[in-house]
Structures are given as C-alpha cells and as structure tokens.
Amino acid sequence: MRFRFLVRRCASVAASAVVVSGVGCGSSGSSTVRVVIPSGSSFTAAVDSLARARVVGSPRLFRLYASMRHRDRDLKAGTYAFDRGASWNTVLDALTRGKGLVHTVTIPEGFALSSIAPLLARALSVPPESVMAAASDSELRRRLDVPTPTLEGYLFPDTYTFAEGTAPERAVDMLVARFEQVWKPEWTGRLQELAMSRHDVVTLASIVEKEARLPQERPVISAVYHNRLKRGMLLQADPTVQYALGRHVDRVLYRDLEVDSRYNTYKHAGLPPGPIASPGAASIEAALYPANVPYLYFVAHPDGHHEFRETFAEHTEARAQIRRANPPRPSNR
C-alpha cells in the first residue's frame, strides 16, 4: 500500500509540472536554439541534450511526463529548432513527430548555381531541377533587375537553416533576401561613381571571388579588371572560360579559349553577361572599391598567390620566373 501511495504521489508531482509546462516549461528567454538528436540516441540522452540547451528545465520531470503519456520511446533523430520556454507538449510533439526538424546547409563563397542546386536539393529532399526552376523565377529576377535567365550570383553564400518541408521557392527566396540584406545602401551610391549597374558589380565580384586565394589580393585583382575595362582590353579571365565550358578544369588550355560563348572573356570584350558564381561580401566590396594600382596583368603561383605587373613584357617575365621556380614533375609512367 505504501508503495502505491508513493507512485501516486510522483504522478501527482509530474501532473503539476505538466500544468506549468503548458504555459512554458523551459528556461526563461525566447531565443531559438538548435539541438541535434543523433540517430540511435536514447530518449534519456535526447532529453539531456534538451536540458543542456536550456529547452527543458528538469530532464527528470520531462522524462516522467513523456513516460506518463507513453511517448518516451518514440523519437525521430535529426536537427531541431526549439524556442526556449516552449511548452513540454510542444517539445515532445516535435521529438516524436519530427515537427521541429530543420536542415542546415552551407553555401560556400564562389559556388556556381550548378553546385548550389544539388546542395539545396539534398537539404530540402527535392530534385535539383526544382531548385534550378526556383532560381529562374521571373518575378525575382525582375525585382533584382537581373537580365540573365537565372539568379546566378544572387544566391548569397552563407549558412542557412530550413524547416522540414521548406519548398525550393522559399529557400531560394531566403538566399536572395540575404543578398539584399548584405548589400549596403552606400554601395548603391558607389555605382554611380563607377558608372556601373549592380549587375555589373556582382558579375565582376564573381570573377574576383573565383580568382582570389588571399583576402588582401581581392582589391588588387579587382583593380586589374577595372583598368582593363577602362582601356577596352579583353578581361581574359580564366574562370569565365571554365564557366563557359560548363565544367571545372584544373588548367585552362589554349583549345579551351576557343569555346563559343558570351562568357568567354578571351573572345568577347567587356564583362560577361552575368555572374559566374556567388560572390561573398568581401569580393563585392573589392569590385566596388578596387585598389589604386596601375596593374594590367597577374599570374598565379602554385600556392595561389599572384604576381601583378603593369606591362605585358613584365608579365611574360613573371610567368617565366614562376615556371623556372616550379618545373613540372617528371611523369612516373
């Protein structure tokens, strides 16, 4: 009899906690936190993770509450977004039904749409074609004044969290919104000084993003292209040729320079029709504020840093010096 009395008393305590939890059983504050529940986790381990994230205040009472509702064995693994202070019922519902599941994806700087689409598709569990279709939305392109067939260059590189079931259109809209958020008002004023459109700047920034390996070289690389544009010279940017080829090549060969495309800046003067990748904020700023240098040429060392020169003769000598310092390794064949 005494044992039954103790059981009833414990249940009564849990029931009291449930009433409180309906109002907000977690810790104080309304910030959203992410909690990862690995596959194969026990319910106890999952609740301990929630406690560490301050989503639930008492892991022991929360486990008792879940046990009373016969829901302490149903658990869906994944990454969840919880509001601190959410009711126990909300938290338990999320864990057992997967309602709070989110998917995190990082879009690296310099990724082209052809690489971004598969990343988003995996995160959203949709075909890549649906992401490509969303990135071709005519209304979004019109709003951003993008003259190209896709939003290439405007899907801002960053880390994003998507709720379970997010549509590709919504995901693309989030990436574009991030671009608009990052774009500073003073940058718009700078466009007039450069006599360039925002599309021009994003296009140039995407080339800088693909060329630069060292952050401090971005404004100098930008200056080389600005100087070439002012003189009416071909940009001769290797990344634009790679984009025109539609595939990555470790080295652009002479035969590649003949590819028939408006993106081939070895054959067509001026900027290409649009961006070739998604530039980060640093490359956009470099495109807007190039270094005050006279260089017209640059060549890369094997480690990625560049030598900058003003004349073609100096450029030719710099290339020769790099080749002499880094002779090709003999083949093992």
Count of CB atoms situated within 10 Å of the CB of 62: 26
pLDDT of residue 11: 39
Whether 82 maps to a domain, the answer reads yes
Which is it for the CA torsion 130, 136, 139, 145, positive or negative?
Answer: positive
pLDDT of residue 8: 38
Evaluate if residue 189 carries a pLDDT over 90. Answer: yes
Higher-confidence residue: 130 or 12? 130
CA distances to 23, 55, 85, 243, 284 from 59, rounded to whole Å, are 17, 10, 14, 53, 48
**Lowest-pLDDT range of 160-169, 231-240, 260-269:** 160-169
Give the residue-averaged pLDDT of 252-266: 92
Domain identity same for 203 and 149: no
Whether 197 maps to a domain, the answer reads yes
Whether 9 maps to a domain, the answer reads no
Radius of gyration of the chain (CA): 28
Looking at 182, 199, 216, the residue that finishes a domain is: 182
Domain identity same for 256 and 193: yes
**CB contact set of 121 (below 8 Å; sequence gap of 6+):** 127, 128, 130, 131, 168
**CB contact set of 189 (below 8 Å; sequence gap of 6+):** none
Alpha helices in the chain (DSSP H): 2-24, 43-52, 59-68, 88-97, 113-124, 128-134, 138-144, 168-182, 185-194, 198-211, 218-231, 238-245, 281-288, 312-325
Domain identity same for 216 and 276: yes
Rounded Cα–Cα distance for residues 62 and 56 (Å): 7
Q: What is the pLDDT of residues 233-252, one digit of tens each?
A: 999 999 999 999 988 777 88
Read off the tokens for 50.
């929630």
Q: What is the pLDDT of residues 77-97, one digit of tens each?
A: 878 888 888 888 888 888 887
Number of structural domains in the chain: 3
Count of positions (residues) in the chain: 333
**CB contact set of 8 (below 8 Å; sequence gap of 6+):** none
Evaluate if residue 9 carries a pLDDT over 70. Answer: no
Domain identity same for 255 and 313: yes
Phi-psi category of residue 94: left, alpha or beta, with phi > 0 → left and psi -120 to 50 → alpha? alpha
Q: What is the pLDDT of residues 98-152, one digit of tens each?
A: 776 778 899 999 999 999 999 999 999 999 999 999 999 999 999 999 999 999 9
Q: Is 0.85 topped by the overall pTM?
A: no
H or E, element range at 298: strand 297-300
pLDDT of residue 330: 60
Evaluate if residue 186 carries a pLDDT over 70. Answer: yes
pLDDT of residue 10: 39
CATH number, position 69:
3.30.1490.480
**CB contact set of 250 (below 8 Å; sequence gap of 6+):** none
Domain identity same for 108 and 68: no
262: closest CA among 157, 147, 131? 147
pLDDT of residue 5: 36
Domain identity same for 113 and 155: yes
Looking at 182, 216, 246, the residue that finishes a domain is: 182
Q: How confident is the model at residue 158 (pLDDT cuts 50, 70, 90)?
A: very high
Domain identity same for 190 and 321: yes
Give the residue-averaged pLDDT of 303-313: 94
CB-based burial of residue 198 (10 Å sphere; 0-12 exposed, 13-18 middle, 19+ buried)?
middle
Domain identity same for 249 and 313: yes
Whether 2 maps to a domain, the answer reads no
Whether 331 maps to a domain, the answer reads no
H or E, element range at 307: strand 306-309
Which is it for the CA torsion 175, 176, 177, 181, positive or negative?
Answer: positive
% of the chain exceeding 70 in pLDDT:
89
Contact in structure between 62 and 56 (CB atoms under 8 Å): yes
Domain identity same for 237 and 300: yes
Whether 86 maps to a domain, the answer reads yes
Whether 16 maps to a domain, the answer reads no
Domain identity same for 209 and 302: yes
Rounded Cα–Cα distance for residues 308 and 52 (Å): 52
Domain that includes residue 295, residue range: 185-325
Highest mean pLDDT among 55-69, 86-100, 161-175, 187-201: 187-201
Domain identity same for 277 and 310: yes
Evaluate if residue 230 carries a pLDDT over 90. Answer: yes
Domain identity same for 191 and 314: yes
Rounded Cα–Cα distance for residues 150 and 294 (Å): 35
pLDDT of residue 95: 84
Looking at 74, 99, 124, the residue that finishes a domain is: 99
pLDDT of residue 274: 98
Rounded Cα–Cα distance for residues 279 and 154 (Å): 8
Q: What is the pLDDT of residues 207-218, one digit of tens each?
A: 999 999 999 999
